[in-house]
Amino acid sequence: MTRGVAFLDAERVTTLRALPLTYDSPGGFAGTSRPGFDVLSRSLVMGDAALDACAEVLLRWGVQTGAGLGVRACAPRVEPGVVAELLIGVGPVGWRAPLRVVEVFDEPGRRGFAYGTLPGHPEDGEESFVLTEEPDGRVRFTVTAASRAARLGGPVTRGVQAWMAGRYLRACRQAAR
């Protein structure tokens, strides 16, 4: 199921912007090994996808919505400092996962972003979503997370995170078609 992106109300934006990240040293964190944090990385090479077209979907929260998450954000496009909540679950069963965009990658052959978790997110850490152009012209989409459980417990959050990484990859492949 694909959901759209909704806007956060001004009060919630102010609240989220005032919150500290739930970890130290934002930016460049996802994919690095740090004590107490688990690293998950999954990637997919897409046949004849165009980098710019895939990036446009990615930078408008299309991978998250395509994976079935609700997204409430202060802006329709991913930019550094944008705050958002991913809505995980259905109806009254689920939770909000608040986040802040900490990096945006916009360079030749590489596009994407990373977000850091805010208090209330089920994990502490960073997750990145990066598109790179391979030497043969194909596009690789990589989802990488460096995180530790914040609320639900290690095995549960790691399992959900791995499941969602697969959904993100499928959503990106679907959007590239």
Tens digits of per-residue pLDDT, 51-71?
Answer: 888 899 999 999 999 888 899
pTM reported for the whole predicted model: 0.87
172 φ, ψ (degrees, to nearest 5) = -65, -45
| Percent of the chain residues past pLDDT 90, beyond the cut | 45
Note whether 79 and 58 are within 8 A (CB): no
Query: 38: which 2 tokens?
Result: 């688990």
Assigned architecture for domain 5-176? 2-Layer Sandwich (3.30)
Which element (helix H / strand E) includes 157?
helix 154-176
What is the per-residue pLDDT across 152-166, written as a single tens digit (0 to 9) for each?
555 556 666 666 766
| Tens-digit pLDDT profile for residues 113-169 | 999 999 998 888 899 999 999 998 889 999 998 888 765 555 556 666 666 766 776
Residue 7 has pLDDT above 90, yes or no: yes
In the β-sheet with 123-133, what is the strand arrangement from edge to edge? 5-7, 70-73, 83-90, 93-107, 110-117, 123-133, 139-149, 38-46
Residue 176: pLDDT above 90? no
